[in-house]
Structure 1
Amino acid sequence: MESPKHAGDVAVAVSKTYGIETMFTLSGGHVFPLYDGAVHEDMRILDVRHEQSAVFAAEATARLTRRPGLAVLTAGPGITNGVSGVATAHFNGSPVVVMGGRAPQSRWGSGALQEMDHPPLFTPITKLAFTGSGPDSIGQDVEMAFRTAIAPHRGPVFLDFHMDHLFAPATPHATETLTPSPLEPDTDALAGIARLLAEAERPVLVLGSDVWMDRAEEVARSFAEEYRLPVIPNGQGRGILPAGHELLVNRARGMAFAQADLVIVAGTPLDFRLGYGWFGGKDGAPLAKVVHLADAPSQISTHMKPAGAAAGDLSLVFWGLGTACAEAGVSPARYAPWLTTLAEASAAAIAGDAELLAADADPIHPMRIYGELGKILADDAVAIGDGGDFVSYAGKYVEPRRAGNWLDPGPYGCLGTGLGYAMAARLARPSSQVVLLLGDGAAGFSLMDVDTLVRHRLPVVMICGNNGMWGLEKHPMQMLYGYDVAAELQPQCRYDQVVTALGGGGELVTDPSEIGPALRRAFDSGVPYMVNIATDPAVAYPRTTTGV
């Protein structure tokens, strides 16, 4: 770069060395020098209508590209509006750097506009939260933020700058971008896990998001295929084994977890999504032994003691485990009857769904939407879920054909991620279909950012499952109390007209036979387009866990 005019130039130049191509932001005077730096460095500036969308977009960028994402937020309310996005990145292990503006140092303590000490808000939900010490150190501060974010276990970093420091002259910073050294797993731990596999008769392998984020998807798939292990994906582990793969038994998930004698969980926490790590135990049988594989020691479960555990770069973990299994004489033939049982149960579940996926029921059953969508989605389509009941069906019936093509809010469960995620997906995968699956409740959080899609020419197909309620709350309240409160939304609310008013396209669908044609019009439109589908309010997704 040319000699920097101010510290903002230096901050942006260092960011570019870490692969940052887009700055997601909402305009604010405290961070003008960062915008000026982006102009000087030819970095895309994508401005949104709510700061939460900027952070969600940065987080989705990190999850789709496996490089850091960057959000820039102005001081005070601009930063507090981004807290939920940072918390989501924290729970997802997403390497996001959030840079914030801060009242001038020269006026600190005098009651300047939006004066607030931001880092204490972020300390519990970041790997690091700090204030830059001055214009002369800004390059080092930004470099430390990115290095911290991408080191295992990945996660968000918050860094704010006093406004007068950003505007001040600064000298260039020579950045040597360092990739974290791969963490080697303990070979004795891998040997112990291999012995557990040699003894098991009914193993299950769970592949989670960090397998994708660690670029371990190919070696994980090879390991599963070599030892013929039934696989259940979780989060961004979806698509590592493509839809239709013979080892993919997620449609027999309940049976697999209930009858397994060994469950190997890789790259995801033993949280509520996995029954907190308690598997097996059906009909008086003992609980399954659990193995936990993680990208860093800090991620190994502490609330229950696994029978085996290994931490390290997950590519190295799977390579090492494959070697250990060969030395332990693990035979894939041992699991053949178990795999056959699960494959047959999975096939039966798929066959049993065929009627509802094609149902002509009026009101529309949510499954009919996914039956029609499945006919249209391309192999490289990116599917995004933002909602409760409606998106639960997506998790079951939208089966990615490639790794890295699924996004949902993750274990934090924050609604409103969808529009930010959609922006990021369109930029990261410019030639792919991008489909955002919205519950009508979730649509209310961020639909104004359709304006962002329109202004920046980012075509996305939005499908709103509109049942006129907060379905995750209404049905349980009815069951518990016989009544419900605070769970109603306007029936058939015209969210599609919001999209058209903002410059996109859209339509309301009430006839099941019109779902397919409407979806095709949406994908052919070349603009942000909502298919707003009125679904049966009496239909609730069948749940087996409350997550509490």
Structure 2
Amino acid sequence: MAKTTGSDLLIRALRAEGVDTVFGIAGDHILHMLDTMFDTPLRMIDFRHESGAVHAADSYSRILKKGAVMLSTTPGHANALPALANAIHSEAPVINIAGSAESPNLGRGAMQEFDQINAAKPITKGAWEVPSPSRIPEYVALAFRTALSGRQGPVHLTIPHDFQMAEVDDAEVARYTPSEYGISTLVLGDPDQVEKAIDLLSTAQRPMIFAGSSAGATAVPSEVKRLVETMRIPFFSEDSARALIPDSHEYSMGLGYQPLNVTVRNVGDADVVVMLGKKLDYTNGFGGNPPFADDVKFIVVDPSPAQVARARTAAIGIVGDLGPVITQLADAAAKRKWTERTDWVERLRSAFNEWHEDLTRLGKVESPMHPMHVSNTLKKFIDDDTHVTFDGGDYCHFLRASIKRDKPYRFHNVSSFGMIGVGLPYALGAQVALPGKKVVLANGDGSLGFNGMEIDTMVRHDLPVKMMVGNNSIWGIDWQIQKGLYGRPVWTDLLPTRYDVVAQGLGAYGEQVKKPEDLENAMKRAFDHHGPALLNIDIEQVISPVAEAAISRKIGSHG
């Protein structure tokens, strides 16, 4: 009988799931796996830290709407855990695979041993140790099905090192491939609930729609547009759902986050609010008053039953994947007659336009440089197809608020977990997913410190990300909140570090920009450079709307 190894089985199973790229770091307990993988067509992107590899896989998976694989050894799995906690918030289907010591030695002080499964369980959708070499394909299939179904998220597999090297009879290995197990992971909503939702929306005077990450995971942009245009309802988008319909569309009101879009303040007058894969959580007052009215009616569409009426009772709950449910809603809506809500739509669109005009005016060409001058200048170099990632506090909030998006899957931001430092590996993963496209990172100087060494990874793998680092030598948003609430900063001052010189030392293009009048030419040089480039931009210590909102609520946190 033909023999095969556990590593061969793993690679075969990954390729059957459509995997063509893997992220990770080498280590003792995956060396056989890596050596076997090196002779296959799989693209292998190696990193400087396991968290960076998970964040990059997170970004890659959400842009391409597919599972992404991250590989590490045992201590590397410990390093990856914080990024997995972030991925459960960003709803990224990351397949985290770690090796371990040989199975006969587990439980008696094996090399680098710790409880990998129970460490991962609270921050993933599932964590398993493969019980035998021949069952590797079965567990890979389980991992992908779990990660990509319902509210998407990361999963973990541990494969002991001896299982990777073990030889098994190929004929005895059960086949677990998507075409063979034939299970659709997309779930329709209850047709009766869909009709009830359309009934309620047909009588609404001031409705709104908010789309969140679960909508971005499975929705078809053209179907979202059909739904919104049919019902003529104002639409806001966040996270992976950002720009499912373009910001330039008459019914699109941009970012669905009140501190960074004053248009959202009108939600207090909304009579019906549709949450398409968007949680009622701290970012929207848990559905309470404020910002919503006491008598507002919620229609909640979500893949997870736990999210329907989690924070506030929903008038109508629909459990199902957003892609098919949106089509169900659009089909049902198409059978009705809908009146124009001209006054409501014009009121919101006017607020949206005025907000962006107000932001633009902040970007005067004067020193010290306002973050909005960076935003205004950057807009000259990006287009609808450019992927933009925002990471950090006050500096990035201005750019995130002001840079409109007209194409989906071209936007990343810090997740609801609030873990900063994700931006550089997010941008790296975006560049891997989008070869030949512009990828831009707007990064604060504080958050750059977490994963800044991944510039080395960009250089080694020829990933030409353009990094616009706003350097004000503080942990911006916390510094501002401390000053506003307590009158002094504590642990929030930083050095005026030359991150451009750090970038140069790692092989990237780096340039410092001190004067606002020099910024445009510096950006031109960065974008003309064929590889990764970093501008270290001296900016004003200016407070953002997010920090102002936190201070006004008299709480030492922001959301």
The TM-score with structure 2 as length reference comes to 0.92
1:95 corresponding residue in structure 2: 93
Match of 1:428 in 2: 433
Which of 527, 530, 543 matches 1:526?
Answer: 530
Is 1:225 the counterpart of 2:233? The answer is no
What is the CA-CA distance between 1:538 and the residue it aligns to? 3.9
8 Å contact 2:130–2:158 — kept in the other structure? yes
**Pairs within 5 Å for 1:6-405:** 6-75=5-74, 77-172=75-170, 173=173, 174-177=175-178, 178=182, 180-250=184-254, 251-278=261-288, 286-327=294-335, 329=336, 331-333=338-340, 335-357=341-363, 359-405=364-410
SS at match of 1:80: helix
DSSP 3-state at the match of 2:313: coil
Aligned counterparts of 2:111 and 2:185: Cα–Cα separation in 1: 43
Q: Which amino acid aligns with 1:390?
A: Y
Contact 1:55 1:85 in 2 (8 A): yes
1:299 Cα deviation after fit: 3.4
- Deviations along 1:273-302, whole A, 9 cap, x unmatched? 2222236778xx644222111134343241
Amino acid of the structure 1 residue aligned with 2:450: F
Give the match for residue 535 of structure 1: 539
User: CA–CA distance in 1 between the matches of 2:91 and 2:200?
Assistant: 29
- Between the aligned partners of 2:338 and 2:30, the Cα distance in structure 1 is 59
Q: Is the 8 A contact 2:209 2:275 kept in 1?
A: yes
Deviations 1:497-546 (A, max 9, x none): 11110000011111111111111111110111001111111444444354
CA 1:3–1:428 in structure 2 vs 1: closer, same or farther (change >3 Å)?
A: farther
Q: Distance in 2 between matches of 1:207 and 1:302?
A: 17
What's the offset of the Cα at 1:307? 1.5
Contact 2:459 2:531 in 1 (8 A): yes
The worse-fitting range, judged by mean Cα deviation, of 169-178 and 50-59 is 169-178
Q: Secondary structure of 1:392's partner?
A: helix
Segment drifting more, 138-147 vs 165-174: 165-174
Deviation string 1:108-160 (CA, Å, 9 cap, x unpaired) is 23322201121101111111111110112222122211222112222111010
- Separation (CA, whole Å) in 2 of partners of 1:252 and 1:338: 15
- Partners of 2:95 and 2:147 within 8 A in 1: yes
Distance 1:371 1:291, change over 3 A: same
Instruction: Point out where structure 1 has 5 or more consecutive residues left out of the alignment.
Output: none
Matches of 2:539 and 2:69, distance apart in 1: 37
**Whole-Å separation in 1 of the counterparts to 2:394 and 2:307:** 29
Note if contact 2:500-2:536 (Cα within 8 Å) is conserved in structure 1.
Answer: yes
CA contact (8 A) 2:394 2:542 kept: no
Report the secondary structure of 1:508's partner residue.
strand
**Which residue in the other structure is 1:495 paired with?**
499
Deviates more, 1:103-112 or 1:132-141: 103-112
Structure 2 residue ranges without an equivalent (≥5): 255-260, 551-556
Decide whether aligned partners of structure 1 residues 302 and 511 sit closer, same or farther in structure 2, where only a CA change above 3 A counts.
same
> Could you tell me whether the CA contact under 8 Å between 1:153 and 1:299 is conserved in 2?
no
Shift of 1:3: 6.0
The AA in structure 1 aligned to 2:319 is A
User: CA-to-partner distance for each residue in 1:90-123, whole Å, 9 max, x for gaps?
Assistant: 1122111100011112222332220112110111
Corresponding letter in the other structure for 1:306: A
Seen in structure 2, the aligned counterparts of structure 1 residues 534 and 281 have a Cα distance that, compared at 3 Å, is closer
Contact 2:30/2:99 (8 A) holds in 1: yes
Aligned-partner Cα distance in 1 for 2:4–2:524: 50
Cα-to-partner distance string for 1:179-231 (whole Å, 9 max, x where unaligned):
52421111121122122212211111112222221033221111111221111
Contact 1:383 1:436 (C-alpha < 8 Å) held by counterparts: yes
Structure 1 segments of 4+ aligned residues over 4 angstroms from their partners: 2-5, 279-282, 545-548
Rate the CA distance shift 1:336–1:279 in 2: closer, same or farther, 3 A.
Answer: farther
CA contact (8 A) 1:454 1:528 kept: yes
- What one-letter code is carried by the residue in structure 2 that aligns with 1:226? T
Q: CA deviation at 1:547?
A: 4.5
Is residue 389–residue 423 contact of structure 2 (8 Å, CA) maintained in 1?
yes
Give 1:266's aligned amino acid: L
Cα pair 1:518 1:531 within 8 Å, conserved: yes
Q: 1:34 to 1:279 in 2, by over 3 A?
A: farther
Aligned partner of residue 490 in structure 2, secondary structure: coil
Q: Report the number of matched residues.
A: 540
| Distance change in 2, residues 1:379/1:24 (3 Å) | same
What CA distance in whole angstroms lies between the structure 2 residues aligned with 1:512 and 1:107? 61
Distance in 2 between the 1:6 and 1:227 partners? 56
Q: Provide the rounded CA distance (Å) in 2 between the counterparts of 1:210 and 1:4.
A: 42
Q: Distance in 2 between matches of 1:386 and 1:107?
A: 42
In structure 2, distance between residues paired with 1:26 and 1:477: 38
Question: Does the aligned pair in 2 maintain the 1:259–1:281 contact within 8 Å?
Answer: no
Give the partner amino acid of 1:262.
V
CA distance in 2, matches of 1:36, 1:184: 43
1:466: which partner in 2? Answer: 471
Gap change, CA 1:337 and 1:85, over 3 Å in 2: same
Asked whether the 8 Å contact 2:512–2:537 carries over to 1, the reply is yes
Whole-angstrom CA distance in 2 between matches of 1:239 and 1:288: 25
Tell me how far 1:423 sits from its aligned partner: 2.0
The 10-residue stretch of structure 1 (445-454 or 252-261) with the greater mean CA deviation from structure 2 = 252-261
Q: Deviations for 1:395-454, whole angstroms, at most 9, x for unmatched residues?
A: 211222201111123111211212221221111111110001111111000111100110
Partner of 2:257: none
Contact kept in structure 1, 2:100 and 2:158, CA below 8 Å = yes
Partner of 1:483: 488
Structure 1 residues 171 and 57: CA distance shift in structure 2, 3 A: farther
The structural deviation recorded for 1:341 is: 1.0
CA distance in 1, matches of 2:558, 2:249: 29
| Contact 2:152–2:214, Cα closer than 8 Å, also in 1 | no
